[in-house]
């Protein structure tokens, strides 16, 4: 009996000891969690992200840094007001701001003004030789990344940058394949064939609704890639609006394309398209959003448009409309001109730190980590071995190159809780960005973009490196600075405000864009 009581007593002691240890560990853990720094990040709510706080990417960042990350949502419809008020609020309310990938909530001028007012934290204070941000500046030194991101030697934001091959091609023309099939037409290869196709679009009711509601070719002035006439002009002479419409003449000199007879001929053709009702003016001053609504309309009223990515104009969750359009390779002019405009990677603001942040160094540590390869893979594809895996040898990417990534669950442009749907700092290596396998869906945006850009890459301007050569940077920049007047004149000639056939008006235009000559 005594032995039994003794054993029971020992058992009770052991149980008490275990409970005490568990309680101690729990309390200690709670105390440790209470001591963890809380970093609050402002972000715009995204319909494709279930919950930023419980997101897999958030938990991954917390595990890697040891910080607690909390999110505050930017007031929808009052984004600019919110962002400015936050910069002037009490210290410690917001530690960092993540901007969405698809559209910036701030213009370059607004952001620069904030920096000038001392409202932004200079991240140069946190940068070290071995941080990911420094490595990024060195990696893309060939495109002057340091100059693109710095302002008077200071760094006020961490970038978000699309590194796909699609993003190096300024503009693709997309044409309604359903209309081509309905009318028994083939893809146009020359400006003349394009005119013939557009005339058929205008007069043959290809959408079959019995109404004359077809818009053969739409254009929009909000950006160069949406100006469809830029695509047509490249069949006459190299037309690069990103670099002041400069080209290399037969003597090897960098000169303005708009002074050449070939450019005038291209303008004449575009003006004739407008006069015939083929190039639509009614949506020319639409916003990009308004143009998207037109292209995505179930009325099927658009024959052709231009953009950089097909997703710039068609919603990724509209497979029927995506499948309706196919790319037209660069047109070939009468003299053999066939050009596509190559562009550098352009970083946008991914994230920044307010000057009144209570935890600027912790916020920088989080954003710097987001530039790492491992973080970029999570931010792009989700959880390894559940949403994606590294490809095996022999797999081909959508660009027909060696594949690097195989998607197991395609969570791009879908509701998910694995990443931030492109918001915040994000620079995926070009090797991974261009090395994703095709998942068999012909309406997949990445597949359509890759198929399109492959038909353009052989037409990039051979002398494009001259635009970024150090000895010609000043000349190129002067041409870019003067482009507003040039752009205005081009639009006036095409849309009937000026007469392209008038030698006098053409001479006036030349004096406007080249006053010193």
Q: Is residue 137 part of a domain?
A: yes
- Of the candidates 241, 253, 249, the one whose C-alpha atom is nearest the C-alpha of residue 471 is 253
Do 330 and 473 fall within a single domain?
Answer: yes
Tens-place pLDDT, residues 264-296? 999 999 999 999 999 987 778 888 889 999 999
Neighbouring residues of 114: CB distance < 8 A, sequence distance ≥ 6:
84, 87, 106, 120, 156
Q: Which residues pair with 256 in a beta bridge?
A: 246
CATH of the domain at 47: 3.40.190.10
Pairing of strands 154-155, 96-98: unpaired
Q: How far apart are CA 117 and CA 120, in angstroms?
A: 8
Q: Is residue 177 part of a domain?
A: yes
Do 133 and 280 fall within a single domain?
Answer: no
Torsion, Cα of 203, 204, 206, 209 (10° steps): 90
Do 464 and 317 fall within a single domain?
Answer: yes
| Cα dist from 343 to 224, 258, 460, 512, 515, whole Å | 12, 20, 10, 27, 28
Q: Is residue 394 part of a domain?
A: no
Q: What is the pLDDT of residue 251?
A: 84
Do 337 and 352 fall within a single domain?
Answer: no
| CB atoms inside a 10 Å sphere around CB 1 | 5
At residue 252, φ and ψ (nearest 5 deg) are 85, 15
Domain hosting residue 3, numbered range: 1-35
Do 471 and 326 fall within a single domain?
Answer: yes
Determine the straight-line distance between the first and last CA of the chain, rounded to whole angstroms: 116
Q: What is the pLDDT of residue 149?
A: 85
- Listed as ranges, residues in the chain with pLDDT below 70 are 1-34, 102-104, 141-143, 440-443, 470-471, 515-517
- Of the candidates 447, 223, 261, 510, the one whose C-alpha atom is nearest the C-alpha of residue 341 is 223
Total structural domains in the chain? 3
Q: How far apart are CA 100 and CA 325, in angstroms?
A: 27
> Can you read off the two tokens belonging to residue 74?
């930017």
Q: What is the pLDDT of residue 89?
A: 84
Do 27 and 72 fall within a single domain?
Answer: no
416 secondary structure, DSSP code: B
Q: Which of 325, 357, 381 is the last residue of a domain?
A: 381
Tens-place pLDDT, residues 452-477? 999 999 999 887 777 777 667 778 88
Tens-place pLDDT, residues 42-53? 999 999 999 999
Q: Is residue 391 part of a domain?
A: no
- Of the candidates 217, 215, 270, 226, the one whose C-alpha atom is nearest the C-alpha of residue 490 is 270
Q: Is residue 447 part of a domain?
A: no
Q: Which of 326, 361, 381 is the last residue of a domain?
A: 381
Q: What is the pLDDT of residue 344?
A: 85
């Amino acid at each position: 009996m005594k032995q039994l009581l003794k054993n029971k007593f020992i058992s009770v002691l052991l149980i008490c000891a275990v409970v005490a240890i568990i309680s101690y560990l729990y309390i200690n853990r709670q105390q440790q969690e209470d001591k963890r720094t809380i970093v609050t990040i402002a972000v715009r709510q995204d319909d494709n992200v279930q919950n930023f706080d419980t997101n897999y990417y958030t938990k991954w960042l917390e595990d890697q840094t040891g910080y607690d990350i909390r999110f505050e949502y930017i007031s929808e419809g009052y984004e600019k007001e919110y962002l400015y008020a936050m910069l002037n609020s009490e210290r410690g309310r917001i530690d960092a701001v993540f901007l969405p990938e698809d559209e910036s909530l701030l213009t370059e001028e607004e952001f620069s003004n904030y920096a000038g007012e001392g409202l932004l934290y200079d991240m140069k204070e946190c940068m070290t030789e071995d941080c990911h941000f420094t490595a990024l500046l060195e990696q893309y030194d060939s495109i002057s990344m340091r100059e693109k991101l710095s302002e008077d030697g200071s760094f006020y934001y961490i970038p978000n940058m699309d590194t796909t091959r699609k993003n190096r091609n300024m503009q693709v023309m997309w044409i309604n394949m359903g209309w081509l099939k309905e009318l028994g037409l083939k893809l146009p290869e020359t400006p003349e064939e394009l005119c013939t196709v557009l005339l058929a679009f205008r007069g043959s009711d290809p959408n079959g609704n019995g109404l004359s509601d077809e818009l053969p070719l739409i254009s929009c002035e909000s950006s160069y890639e949406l100006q469809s006439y830029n695509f047509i002009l490249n069949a006459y002479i190299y037309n690069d609006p990103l670099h002041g419409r400069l080209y290399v003449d037969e003597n090897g000199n960098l000169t303005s394309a708009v002074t050449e007879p070939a450019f005038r001929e291209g303008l004449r053709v575009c003006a004739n398209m407008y006069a015939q009702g083929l190039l639509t003016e009614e949506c020319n001053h639409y916003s990009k959003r308004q143009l998207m609504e037109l292209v995505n309309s179930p009325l099927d009223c658009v024959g052709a448009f231009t953009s950089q990515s097909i997703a710039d104009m068609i919603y990724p969750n509209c497979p029927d409309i995506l499948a309706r359009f196919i790319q037209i390779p660069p047109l070939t002019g009468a003299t053999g001109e066939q050009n596509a405009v190559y562009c550098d990677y352009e970083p946008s603001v991914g994230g920044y730190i307010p000057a009144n942040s209570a935890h600027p160094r912790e916020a920088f540590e989080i954003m710097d980590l987001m530039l790492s390869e491992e973080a970029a893979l999570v931010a792009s594809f989700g959880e390894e071995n559940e949403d994606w895996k590294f490809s095996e040898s022999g797999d081909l990417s959508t660009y027909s190159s060696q594949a690097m990534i195989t998607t197991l669950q395609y969570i791009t442009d879908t509701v998910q809780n694995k990443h931030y749907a492109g918001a915040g700092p994000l620079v995926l290596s070009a090797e991974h960005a261009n090395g994703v396998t095709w998942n068999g869906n012909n309406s997949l945006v990445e597949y359509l973009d890759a198929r399109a850009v492959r038909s353009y890459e052989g037409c990039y301007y051979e002398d494009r490196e001259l635009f970024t050569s150090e000895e010609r940077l000043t000349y190129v920049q002067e041409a870019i600075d003067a482009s507003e007047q040039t752009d205005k004149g081009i639009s006036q000639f095409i849309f009937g405000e000026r007469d392209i056939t008038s030698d006098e008006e053409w001479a006036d235009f030349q004096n406007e864009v080249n006053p010193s000559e």
